[in-house]
Structure 1
Amino acid sequence: MNPAPPVPELDLSACDREPIRTPGSIQPHGFLLTLSAGMEVLQASANLGDWTGTTAQAAVGRPLADVIGEGAALRLAPELATKLGLRPYYVGTVTTGNNRRFDVLGHQWDGVTILEFEPTERAATADFRHLYSLIGDFLQKVNGAESIESLAQLACHHVRSVTGFGRVLVYQFDRDGHGHVMAEAKQDDYASYMGQHFPASDIPAQARQLYALSPIRLIQDANYTPAPLVPATNPATGKPNDLSFAVLRSVSPVHLQYMRNMNTLASMSVSLMVKGQLWGIISCHNEGPSPVPFEQRTACEQLGQLLALCIESREDAQELQFRLEVRRIMVAMLAGLTQGSDFVENLASVFPELLRFARATGVAVVVDERVLSFGDAPEQDHILELVDWLALHDHGEVYHTDKLSAEWPEAQKMIRNASGLLAMPISRIHKHYLLWFRPEFVHTIEWAGNPHDKLVQAAVDGRPLQLSPRTSFAAWRETIHGASVPWHGAEIELAVEFRSALLGIVLERAEQMAELAGELTRSNKELEAFSYSVSHDLRAPLRHIVGFADLLIEASGSEDGEQRQRFLKNIKEAARLAGKLVDDLLSFSQMGRASLRPTDVDMGDLVAACIDKLALETRGRNIEWDIAPLPLVHADPAFLHLAMFNLLSNAVKFTGKRDPAVIRISADDAPNETIIHVADNGAGFNMDYVHKLFGVFQRLHRMEDFQGTGIGLANVRRIIERHNGRVWADSVQGEGATFSIALPKHVSND
């Protein structure tokens, strides 16, 4: 064993910024060369002389044959003449001019060919029989494994039998990035981490990204002294080499110290990629240095890929079964909701099914100040306070959390039965909500060391104290309070679908009420526009749904998963467009009947909330928001929020082809009214048709150019007119538009 090198000064605060892809050096248990297209050495690792007798400085600029010998170069030439990929490829076993034998891996990256030489005792090519026996035995036992945990345990035993490592474990990352050890195989004298958790901080974000790119990583001896590349920069780029895929790549000094603190001198990691995401890792540890030949690493990598496929298959089956059960409950509930005339009473009649739908212990429906609850739900006053908070912070179609008190401190008084919340707004205008509650789930997590001690102070060789990775991995227990069982992704998605179905029922009831109210003239005009929308706007996405569903059925026997995913994506998008039209219709139909509840509204806060809500639409866009000081106005906050959101969303949409997009919000103070302007540098419109701009289902641009339902600006006009205000617009086509609303300084309830 080499003596431990001096511990370097470690800056743990910069772990996430450390250049782990361009370390400028390699692990010295082999050597590395970069070659030009003409087989000339461009760079060499500084330890080249230790392996071949030719120094790195002498090798640079010379033909490959001069460095490793004529016979070795001839042996590699046919393989190097082929197109190498991004991942290391076994190009052969060679004997160099000084009679040393090496396995050679090659790949192309960063504009050069990278060759890595690892010493071996055999003269023949690599023996991959380990691969066949390992994979064959694993496949024979897969069907007998009843769970993902038992599959992982099986993989641990197989990997350990091939590598000889003292401890092999499989851990899965949770949604917060923490790793949970679900399987382990080890020597009797090794510490066990079975069932324990490793904090997300142990693997910085950029290291996770590298795990996702490169499926296997080996550290043969944590006490190694790195061998730098000569010259340090890549001649093809003028920058340090990107060694992301190099098997000899040197690793972070912080991680090496972490290994030594863990009493591990050799480690190997195999990434488990499930559906393109880093699901977990097979992690191998040894207390002493341990080489792992290329063919054995290949066997472990293949086993990791098989394990990931098995995990994906098991998880897909579990997910499908779960979704089918939840959907069955949802269909039964919807059938019950169409029976009676009182929508709220209909909801109350299916309370038991609502609990099973969301696996909740309490449920409540809130309609303004009316609260109906079932099961273990909070007190009525607490529910109304919760709804006020939800209404103040627009959370979109569905809001969910398993730590409500962490997001809303007032929920501390509801921790016992409402640590988890799934909230569904049934109306955009009124405080109408369907709420599910989950109780506090007090549980204990066992960590491999205190996760909060990310950095410790350590004295090195009598020098002053400095930062070092944590030194203790002893079991440390933490009791979690104030949290519920997390909401399942399928529950959230199906809740959104359930909301759309509810809105359809509410829209039907709203239309019936409009007919009974006798507003025949206005209703007939809107019905005519609605009929046109159904025949044009709504039929198009429905045709897409049917058409792509037919294609999906025709392709059901195909193995082309990418094509099926594209069909499903198109079906989902078409359904979303249809649902958006139904949502907007419901909002418009409610606008004419709801009572105003005016109060003082800070327009600055309201505009900021609207911009936050637009975050998904503006992601990746270059938008300059120019917001002048805005006044208080006297208006209904919920109605005004919807009007301003529609105006800002309109500005975002019609500046889609501008870089940068500039959106200005300003105000004028008139004697009897307050005027708010929203101006943009977008597509604008032809002022000859301005009279159509605020009509229902009216568009001044082609649907292909700017998607929309044609209801948003009609909603703005109806809201402002309900406040006895005015709305107008000015534009120069191709140069932008300005929308203005004027609100009287006093608004009466109606």
Structure 2
Amino acid sequence: MNVRSADTFAVDLTACDREPIHIVGSIQPHGFLLTVDAASLVIVQASANAPAGTDVGAALETALPELVPIVRRYLDDQPTEDGAHYLRTVTLAAAASQAYEVAAHRVGGLVVVELEEFADPSVEAGLDALSLRLRAFVQRLRQARNVEDLCAIVAEDVRHVTSFDRALVYRFDQDWHGTVLAEAGNGNLPSYLDLRFPASDIPVQARELYRRNRLRIIPDAGYVPVPIRPTLTPAGPPLDLSQSVLRSVSPVHVEYMRNMGTLASMSVSILVDDRLWGLISCHNAEPKRVPLQARNACDFLTQIFALQLSARERAAQAEQRLALSAIQARLLGFMAEEDSFVDGLLKHPDDVMALVNAAGAAIVTGDRCRLIGATPGETEVRALYDWLSAREDADEVFATDALSDVLPKAEAFAAQASGLLAISVSKKYASYILWFRPEVVRTVKWGGNPAKPATPAPEGGPDRLHPRKSFEIWKETVKARSLPWSLPEIEAAKDLRSSVLGIVLRRAEELAAMSEELQRSNKELEAFSYSVSHDLRAPFRHIVGYSNLLKTREATNLSDKGRHYVDTIIEAAFSAGTLVDNLLTFSQMGRHALNKVSGEMNALVEEVRRKVLRDVPPERTIRWEIGPLGRAYADPFMLRLVIENLLSNAVKYTRDRPEAVIEIERAAPKDGEAVFYVRDNGAGFDMAYVDKLFGVFQRLHRVEEFEGTGIGLANVRRIVERHGGRTWAEGALGKGATFTFTLPLRGEGY
């Protein structure tokens, strides 16, 4: 056993990344390969071990007539999924009646036909033979308590199907290092459970091949590659063997296998949401063949496992998101209560840290630095702030669990801040909220020394890496790293940023005339509002529905006070549901694409006026004074919402007048804008609070006096501004109000 401290390897580990392993130009010898023109079925390439008569230029019907109906059927009904597909088992007269398993895939205008010698039929193969085991497998997956149990189950079943000496489930981390989470074996090979393997063991292009081609087998690591002739396809480049079943592998990988003491291997890729999550890696001490159908069965098992794995991961993330959303909601309320969002956060430090499970936090602006919990000193935090502000590729959210890797001087305060999560809450003023996680020193067990020896290439190219010869446990002490930030935690930070920008900082941005920043804040508010309101609609409807059921079906069992309570619940839930619906409408204003057309304003106003009057008691007296409004160039759906909100408000706030007077007029054009106003003689408002009128949830009258949610005028301003116009209001308490909006002119007569 060897022990070392973490350091950086001097060898260029990207050397393997440059190896063109998908165009190796050769195959493994346990089968042969033909490349056939899809239109003419003429052989254009063949591996050197193909039966006599399969020369380049020969017709497939003449060389191997047994394949013609199989290939034609494949071409007539090609699978939609990429990759090589098993077609059937066939016996070839030209190959001394040898049985082959046939697979095919497309590469441009060519069909790559691969014929693999039929393996030992005693090995359990095919989905029919596995039906009982599949049922048991699915049941065991459902009962698994955690990811490790899931991995153990699939490792055991894959080893059972293949009879390999050892089957490992290998998971990639964010740096593409792999860790063995589960293992099933018969004792013929050493255990690798819990060992870690470096990312350089599986270079970038190999990982991409694993993602595109889920299955790969090497029956004998001592094989001699069989070349494909000619080397180039008719179109020019070498044949792309990315989806090949028989593709020869890198000499480095074969050397790696021999050093591991394994002469046969098979791997099945674990894909979660089309992302390479890990591998099921099988090994055997002696050469071993596994039938194609058995390998396909393993692929099927792995896909079932991946679906269950994805479901588990999504459920865990959903649970964490739910917990963090409750904290976020509290912080949102705290910030809304204060004049400054900073005060709302500083007064509730525990929630600030709990939002992303951090040990400390800092709120930094150009002139002030406030610290919460366990953090580096103010000088160090200021240096971090300067570094974040100066980054050319600065994102709105920055997250790392190894800060010293990107900022070496951060190693000095790794004990407090090995992990950093930062959000930018104003680029104009370079303000940040930072969260810190402390260093977590841990020991990693590698499967051998991960540093690989390099030798100079004889032709003078880059040094060639050689796989390690020993897989004895190599322990490494990892320092200057924190626990990683999870996706829900990063999303919670993003959502907080949206809240700060969209709700709290809006007034500050307006006062500073930062219109560009304000537009982005509105978009983020819209996304946040849409998410919250969309998720709340159903619960409020359920409350109203079940309360009505309780009222109607259990009325006789309720006291008068109980019925009053139920009525109060219904009224409150209905009001809350209306608020949510209005909030959803507000959030959708920014999503609705403008479809501007020219239309008659008087016709639109009359249509809206009739709609509004449907809810007005017949005993009310309303005098409408509507002048010639001309035409307007706008989105008719959105403009209708503007008129409806303004007229509804005018009718509502004049209901205490013996005769309500509502005027809709068009003023003289000014500065290239058409000017419209709606005036009433209703309750009016105090001009001292005029700036609050068009804000979300801003009300200048008590809900007991006039019902409403405080979103209607915010919708008016949002719609008008999207059209390039302006909104303002004038009024006096008890003397009515005038609401004015403008729309850009489009030409004469508009």
Q: Deviations over 1:549-605 (max 9, x none)?
A: 99999xxxxxxxxxxxxxxxxx9xx88979xxxxxxxxxxxxxxxxxxxxxxxxxxx
Structure 2 residue 85 is the aligned partner of structure 1 residue 89? yes
Please name the residue that 1:283 is paired with.
281
Q: Deviations over 1:660-708 (max 9, x none)?
A: xxxxxxxxxxxxxxxxxxxxxxxxxxxxxx999xxxxxxxxxxxxxx99
**Letter of the structure 1 residue corresponding to residue 49 of structure 2:** N
Offset at residue 212 of structure 1 (A):
0.8
**Letter of the structure 2 residue corresponding to residue 76 of structure 1:** I
Structure 2 residue 41 is the aligned partner of structure 1 residue 28? no
Matches within 5 A, 1:412-431: 412-430=411-429
Structure 2 residue 48 is the aligned partner of structure 1 residue 46? yes
Please name the residue that 1:435 is paired with.
434
Task: List runs of 5+ in structure 2 lacking aligned partners.
Answer: 1-11, 540-583, 592-670, 674-720, 726-750
Offset at residue 316 of structure 1 (A):
0.4
C-alpha contact (below 8 Å) 1:169/1:283 kept by paired residues? yes
Q: Quick one: structure 1 residues 113 and 339, their matched pair in 2 at CA, closer, same or farther if it must change by over 3 Å?
A: closer
User: Which whole-Å CA distance do the structure 1 matches of 2:503 and 2:523 have between them?
Assistant: 20
Offset at residue 439 of structure 1 (A):
0.9
Please name the residue that 2:443 is paired with.
444
Q: Deviations over 1:596-644 (max 9, x none)?
A: xxxxxxxxxxxxxxxxxxxxxxxxxxxxxxxxxxxxxxxxxxxxxxxxx
Offset at residue 388 of structure 1 (A):
3.4
Q: Quick one: structure 1 residues 376 and 105, their matched pair in 2 at CA, closer, same or farther if it must change by over 3 Å?
A: same
Secondary structure of 1:358's aligned partner: coil
**Letter of the structure 1 residue corresponding to residue 383 of structure 2:** E
User: Which whole-Å CA distance do the structure 2 matches of 1:129 and 1:271 have between them?
Assistant: 23
Structure 2 residue 369 is the aligned partner of structure 1 residue 391? no
Structure 2 residue 64 is the aligned partner of structure 1 residue 62? no
Q: Quick one: structure 1 residues 234 and 133, their matched pair in 2 at CA, closer, same or farther if it must change by over 3 Å?
A: farther
Please name the residue that 1:216 is paired with.
215
Please name the residue that 1:620 is paired with.
none
Please name the residue that 2:183 is paired with.
184
**Letter of the structure 2 residue corresponding to residue 110 of structure 1:** G
**Letter of the structure 2 residue corresponding to residue 152 of structure 1:** C
TM-score w.r.t. the length of structure 2 is 0.63
Offset at residue 371 of structure 1 (A):
3.6
Structure 2 residue 243 is the aligned partner of structure 1 residue 242? no
Please name the residue that 2:501 is paired with.
503
**Letter of the structure 2 residue corresponding to residue 45 of structure 1:** S
User: Which whole-Å CA distance do the structure 2 matches of 1:138 and 1:190 have between them?
Assistant: 25
Offset at residue 427 of structure 1 (A):
3.4
User: Which whole-Å CA distance do the structure 2 matches of 1:153 and 1:440 have between them?
Assistant: 31
Secondary structure of 2:220's aligned partner: coil
Q: 1:334 aligns with which of 332, 335, 341?
A: 332
User: Which whole-Å CA distance do the structure 2 matches of 1:121 and 1:500 have between them?
Assistant: 60
Q: Deviations over 1:517-551 (max 9, x none)?
A: xxxxxx9xx89x99x999x9999989998999999
Q: Quick one: structure 1 residues 537 and 191, their matched pair in 2 at CA, closer, same or farther if it must change by over 3 Å?
A: closer
Offset at residue 362 of structure 1 (A):
1.4
Structure 2 residue 14 is the aligned partner of structure 1 residue 18? no
C-alpha contact (below 8 Å) 1:266/1:288 kept by paired residues? yes
Secondary structure of 1:143's aligned partner: helix
The worse-fitting range, judged by mean Cα deviation, of 122-131 and 377-386 is: 122-131
Matches within 5 A, 1:316-715: 316-341=314-339, 343-393=341-391, 395-430=394-429, 432-453=431-452, 455=454, 468-507=466-505, 510=508
Secondary structure of 2:470's aligned partner: coil
User: Which whole-Å CA distance do the structure 2 matches of 1:327 and 1:540 have between them?
Assistant: 17
Offset at residue 184 of structure 1 (A):
0.5
Q: Quick one: structure 1 residues 548 and 39, their matched pair in 2 at CA, closer, same or farther if it must change by over 3 Å?
A: farther
**Letter of the structure 1 residue corresponding to residue 204 of structure 2:** A
User: Which whole-Å CA distance do the structure 2 matches of 1:379 and 1:545 have between them?
Assistant: 37
User: Which whole-Å CA distance do the structure 1 matches of 2:151 and 2:143 have between them?
Assistant: 13
Secondary structure of 1:175's aligned partner: coil
User: Which whole-Å CA distance do the structure 1 matches of 2:451 and 2:470 have between them?
Assistant: 12
C-alpha contact (below 8 Å) 1:167/1:286 kept by paired residues? yes
C-alpha contact (below 8 Å) 1:220/1:265 kept by paired residues? yes
C-alpha contact (below 8 Å) 1:366/1:432 kept by paired residues? yes
**Letter of the structure 2 residue corresponding to residue 257 of structure 1:** E
Offset at residue 329 of structure 1 (A):
0.4
Offset at residue 77 of structure 1 (A):
6.2
Q: 2:98 aligns with which of 100, 108, 117?
A: 100
**Two-structure CA RMSD over aligned residues (Å):** 4.1
C-alpha contact (below 8 Å) 1:165/1:284 kept by paired residues? yes
C-alpha contact (below 8 Å) 2:41/2:59 kept by paired residues? yes
**Letter of the structure 1 residue corresponding to residue 92 of structure 2:** T
Percent of aligned pairs with the same amino acid: 40
User: Which whole-Å CA distance do the structure 1 matches of 2:45 and 2:197 have between them?
Assistant: 39
User: Which whole-Å CA distance do the structure 2 matches of 1:419 and 1:708 have between them?
Assistant: 44
**Letter of the structure 1 residue corresponding to residue 91 of structure 2:** T
C-alpha contact (below 8 Å) 2:121/2:291 kept by paired residues? no
**Letter of the structure 2 residue corresponding to residue 40 of structure 1:** V
User: Which whole-Å CA distance do the structure 1 matches of 2:196 and 2:443 have between them?
Assistant: 11
Q: Deviations over 1:134-185 (max 9, x none)?
A: 4222112112111111111101110111111111001111111111110101
C-alpha contact (below 8 Å) 1:542/1:575 kept by paired residues? no
Secondary structure of 1:487's aligned partner: coil
Q: 2:269 aligns with which of 238, 256, 271?
A: 271
User: Which whole-Å CA distance do the structure 2 matches of 1:709 and 1:384 have between them?
Assistant: 42
Q: Quick one: structure 1 residues 350 and 240, their matched pair in 2 at CA, closer, same or farther if it must change by over 3 Å?
A: same
C-alpha contact (below 8 Å) 1:457/1:468 kept by paired residues? no
C-alpha contact (below 8 Å) 1:170/1:281 kept by paired residues? yes
User: Which whole-Å CA distance do the structure 1 matches of 2:15 and 2:40 have between them?
Assistant: 40
Secondary structure of 1:31's aligned partner: strand
Q: Quick one: structure 1 residues 35 and 445, their matched pair in 2 at CA, closer, same or farther if it must change by over 3 Å?
A: same
Please name the residue that 1:742 is paired with.
none
Structure 2 residue 101 is the aligned partner of structure 1 residue 79? no
Q: Quick one: structure 1 residues 494 and 42, their matched pair in 2 at CA, closer, same or farther if it must change by over 3 Å?
A: same
Dislocated runs of 4+, deviation >6 Å = 121-126, 456-459, 536-553, 574-578, 707-711
**Letter of the structure 1 residue corresponding to residue 70 of structure 2:** L
TM-score w.r.t. the length of structure 1 is 0.63
Please name the residue that 2:626 is paired with.
none
Larger Rg: 2
Secondary structure of 1:453's aligned partner: coil
Task: List runs of 5+ in structure 1 lacking aligned partners.
Answer: 1-10, 460-464, 515-522, 554-570, 579-689, 693-706, 712-750
**Letter of the structure 1 residue corresponding to residue 181 of structure 2:** M
Offset at residue 428 of structure 1 (A):
2.9
Secondary structure of 2:355's aligned partner: helix
**Letter of the structure 1 residue corresponding to residue 16 of structure 2:** C
The worse-fitting range, judged by mean Cα deviation, of 98-107 and 287-296 is: 98-107
Matches within 5 A, 1:159-170: 159-170=158-169
User: Which whole-Å CA distance do the structure 2 matches of 1:470 and 1:250 have between them?
Assistant: 21
Number of residue-to-residue matches in the alignment: 531
The worse-fitting range, judged by mean Cα deviation, of 303-312 and 242-251 is: 242-251
Secondary structure of 1:469's aligned partner: coil
Q: Deviations over 1:112-152 (max 9, x none)?
A: 22221122279999854334234222112112111111111
User: Which whole-Å CA distance do the structure 1 matches of 2:418 and 2:589 have between them?
Assistant: 31
Secondary structure of 1:48's aligned partner: coil
C-alpha contact (below 8 Å) 1:103/1:126 kept by paired residues? no
